[in-house]
Each structure stands twice: as C-alpha cells, then as structure tokens.
Chain A
Amino acid sequence: MTASSSPAVIQTRGLSKRYRKVTALSEATLTVPEGRISALVGPNGAGKTTLLRLLAGLARPTSGELAVLGSRPSQDPAFLAGIGFLAQEIPLYRRFTAEDHIGVGAHLNPRWDEASVRHRLKSLDVPPDQKVGTLSGGQRAQLALALTLAKRPRLLLLDEPVASLDPLARRQFLAHLAEAVAAGGLTVVLSSHLVADLERTCDHLILLAASQVQLCGDIDTLLAEHQVLIGPRKDTTAIERDHTLVQAVRTARQSTLLIRRNGPVIDPAFETADVGLEELVIGYMGQHARPVPVPARPTAIGEDQ
C-alpha cells in the first residue's frame, strides 16, 4: 500500500492559529494517510498541541483549510464520533469513579465498546470503584486511554499519551495501539518527546519547529532522503549548493553534516552514513534552537593596539 493510494484522513493547507500576539501554528500544510501511526514531534511550544486541538475541533483555525475524516472539524456529533482525542492534562472528573466514566461514555457515544474498556482496566489493575482523583497519574492515563479507545474512533489524536506511563506500560500501550491500527480502520497521530518509543511504533512523521511544519511524510522515505556526511573541516558551499543542509556540527578538525539529499553525494572527502529517526528529529529541532548567548570576552587594556 503506497501513500498515494490510501485516502488522506488528515489534510491541511496553510493552516494557521494565532492567539492575540502569539502565532502558535503558521501555514501548516500536511497530509496523513489512512492507517498510519504518525509521530508528531517538535520542541516545546512548537505548536503540537495547537495542531491536535485544531484537528479535534476544540479550537478553530485563524486561517487555512483543513479536512479531517473528509470534513471540517466541528461540534457535530457525527464528526466527534469519529475522533478520539486525549489531552495532555488527561481531563477526567476527579469525583467520578472509573465505572462512572464508563457510564458517561456509554450514554454519550453511539459505538461504545464497553467490553473492551472493562477488559483493559481489569488487565491494568485500575480499580473501577475508586474515585479518579485518588488514582495515580499512570492509572488515570490508562483509564483515559481506555475510554478514548472504547469510543472506537477512526482517528485517534493523542497529546503526550505515554508521558506518565512507566516504560513497561508505555511499551504495552504502544503495542496495543499498533494492534488496533493493524486491525484496520484506525489512524493515529501521537505527540511525544520519546523518539525511541516512536521509532518502534510509528510509520509516519510530522515534525514541527518554530510553529512550522518542517517535515511530513513516511518515516522510511524521510530517512532515505537524508544523509549524514562526516569529513574534514572545509568549505561546504558546494554541498550546500547541491543539497539542503539541515544541520552542521563543526569541530576543529571535523564537520558532521545532516543533509537532505538531492541526488548522490559525490564528494570523496566525506564519509556517508544513514540517518536514524532521533538524529533526524534532533537535527531539525537544532536548526531552530535559540543560539546560546556567548558571554562577552573581557577586553584587556591595550588589546586594541
């Protein structure tokens, strides 16, 4: 199955969101085909949460177009039934029990999978009759995830879903997610800082930095398009002319370049290496990192002579 043959579950063009003075998302154009698990990565404040909230219909774009599951996000029950969104803060009613939340879901959703949520909670040892406010952060996250999945959405939008899970629970959750996607009919976008986890599960990448989409596409394709060049410290204008330089790390003797290839690299002075997801992500994030201010060198008297 190629990207072009499956219909896009998410399609945006020039999507922007401004809050009074701050631009949270600027001119985002991206496509996520059906059946992908898309990793949404980027530094803090890059606009990940804003993008997810726009896709879920919780916020309205300032400008631009977007289509999610074939329609513009709205407060319409038919649209909402297809979306599962889990906010980073894991909003649950603190005075409700897990059982109460299952009741809410059963009353408010047309395709409610009560058996699955009960099964999940049982296997995860989340007590059903204890007030949610007294559960641990991990238990709350598990409950919220189980509730979101029980809605049987066609698109799952998860904002940092695994942040509060222990490594084992994290792996189990991601495995479960991959199973659900493999069963068909589900597409996932999940934001996370844990790139190692994402690499195992995700097959699609959206990279945001400085409120802009830097990369969007299949992870395999993106990795194949990029390359690391390691060579002597020398003038790299020739390379920069032929390829897109993403990041350059230069020490006294050596240059390490991350480039987006435009054909084969033929400079014999450089060794080439494949790029991992983490390198790629950090390379692009580093592009937009604020330069660390260099402390002013104290000027000694007479130095200007």
Chain B
Amino acid sequence: MTWLVWRQHRNQAYLAAAALAAFAVLLLVTGRQMAGQYQSALAACTPSHTCGNLANTLILGTPLLSVLVTLTVVVFWGGPLVARELETGTNQFAWMQSVSRHRWLSAKVGWVLLAAAIWAGAVSALVTWWSSPVNALKSQNFQPGQFDIQGIVPIGYALFAVALGIAAGTLLRRALPAMAITLAVFTFLRLVIGQDLRSHYLTAVTKTFGFLQFPAHRPALPTGSYWLVSQGLVGPRGQVPASQAHGPGISAGFDGLSVSLNNMPSACQRLALAGDPRGIFPCLTARGYRGLFITYQPATRYWAFQGIETGIFVVLAAVLILVTAIVVLRRDA
C-alpha cells in the first residue's frame, strides 16, 4: 500500500517540500538579519525603555504567512484524500485488489497524517527560531499570533485539519465541499478555543497588592512572559474585576496594572478625572477597598498550555479518524 500511496501523492509531496524549502530560505534570510538588528537595536533602546517599539517593527507578516501556508496545505491534503477516490470510483479499483479496506485506509491516513505533522512541525520550528528576538521583547508568548504559530500546537492543528478534511470528504463523498467545510470549521474552532477556552486550561493564579505599596514601591509583578487574565480592585465585598469594555482605566505608572474607573466609587472617580491619581488610593482605602489584584497564567506554564492545546486537537483528530474508519468499513462501496 505504501507504494500506491506514494505513487498517488508524490507530486503533492514534492510540492510541499519545495514550499517548505522556499519558506525556510525566506525565514533564514530575514531571521539572521533580524537577529543582527536586534542586538544593535537592543543596545540602543534599553537605556531609553523603548524596546516595545522595536518589537513592533520586527513583527512582519511572515509568521502569519506560515498559518496560511500550513492551513492551505493541510486542507488540500485532507479533503480530497478519500473523497477524490469516491468521486472517481478508484476506491473500487483498490478495494478489489487483495487488500482489505482497513489496510487501504490505514496506509493512506497514516502517511498523510505523518506528512502533515512533519510539515507543520518543520514550519513551526522555523517560526519559533525566527521569533525568538520578538518573544524576548514582547513577553506575550501566550497571545494569539505567537502562541499558536510556535512550539508544538501547529502540529496539533495540522493533524486536526487533515483529519477533519478526510472525515468530511468521506461523509460528503465530494472533495470541494469537504475542503470548504474544513476551512470554516477549523477557523471557527481555532477562534473559539483561542479566545474563550485557552485561558481556562489551568486555574489562573491570583496575586493581590495592597495600596500602601503604591507608589513608593514598585509592585512585585510576576516575572517572565506571563499571561494576564484579569485585574481589578479588591473591594469591601471581594474582587471587583476591571471591565475593559466599559470606560477608560487609569494605569498611573503602575507597570500595567490599571484600575477601571467605572468600578470605582464615584467620589474617587472624580478625583481621578480631576488629574489627581495620588489621591485615589486614600479615597479608596477610606471606602473599604484594600488593594489591587491580578489573575494570571505564569510564564512557566507555557509548555503545559502548548501540550494541553495540542492534546485537545489531537484527540479531536483521533475521533474524526475513527468516524472515517467506521464509515469506510461499513458503507457500501
């Protein structure tokens, strides 16, 4: 079967290898340049605390290109894998050789999953290497645009997208609709998981700061590339999270810790709006507020999160492959 699978898909394999090589050349050239610029620019920006701007200039479209390339490739691999055979009837040719459908499917699915994993893994490794100066500067490793194109999660995405394409193609018996559905479902799921689910993989750590520490002492914020999940005031009846959607917050030089005005008693709010941030804390203390809090995912959890997200997509992929196998083995040719 390996012979047949290779003969059927070798052109796709050559194409993928060529695309990977081109992408590697692009990243190696720009990456080396960037590393050089990073070293000289870091020396220049460190004294003036403007390194954040440097990071912004370093982020080009290249990592996002990787998402596009990976997605396109896996959609083109998964959707037609079984569907094209059903469309042209060639599955009947294969199934009337002395080979079980089980072996036929295992070989096809096995090789394409392996190819997708290698492909996505290679692209991700390149992007991870390329992004290391940006990662060091931005400290936002958990953010979409960084978290989901580096490390091992792209492998999980690729396996899932291929499996989704295969399953949709098998059920619909048509390659083109299968590819469209794969693209739609995959994009939707990625958005939902990235925006709503990811921050809940592990219980966020809470840290509180008393007002007295401000502004005399800098707050002992978590170190490294942590992920700030929420923040707010510790009020008389517990935590009052700042709702970023309503009203402006004031950060007042507390290293990113902002206090949302709309959660504050109006008397203190007026002080803040009058331009007296120093007067806020005594005002708040007088009304029973005890401090600020943040909840966050520590930087040390980065690989745990990578592992959990990859695991979710791998499990979904496995379910889809199982569905495909049941349909192929049970359904009439």
Contact = CB atoms under 8 A, between A and B. Distances in A.
Interface in B84-104: 88-103
Contact of A80 (B4, B93, B96, B329): B96
Nearest to B99: A108
B33 to A, nearest CB: 42
A108 B90 contact: no
Given A77-B100, A109-B97, A91 B92 contact: yes
A241 to B, nearest CB: 44
Interface string A76-113: 11101101110101011110100010011101111000
A280 B72 CA distance: 60
B7 interface: yes
- Give the contact-size bracket for chain B: 20 to 34
Which of A84, A91, A96, A110 has the most chain B CB within a 10 Å cutoff? A91
- Give the contact-size bracket for chain A: 20 to 34
Contact of B98 (A56, A94, A110): A110
B196 interface: no
A60 B3 CA distance: 29
B332 A108 contact: no
Nearest to A74: B100
B26 interface: no
B168 to A, nearest CB: 22
B333 interface: yes
A75 interface: yes
A75 B89 contact: no
Contacts of A148: 96
Nearest to A60: B332
B106 interface: no
B187 interface: no
Given A107-B4, A108-B99, A91 B332 contact: no
A78 B103 CA distance: 13
Interface of B: 1, 3-4, 7-8, 88-103, 329, 332-333
Interface of A: 53, 56, 58-60, 75-78, 80-81, 83-85, 87, 89, 91-94, 96, 100, 103-105, 107-110, 148, 151
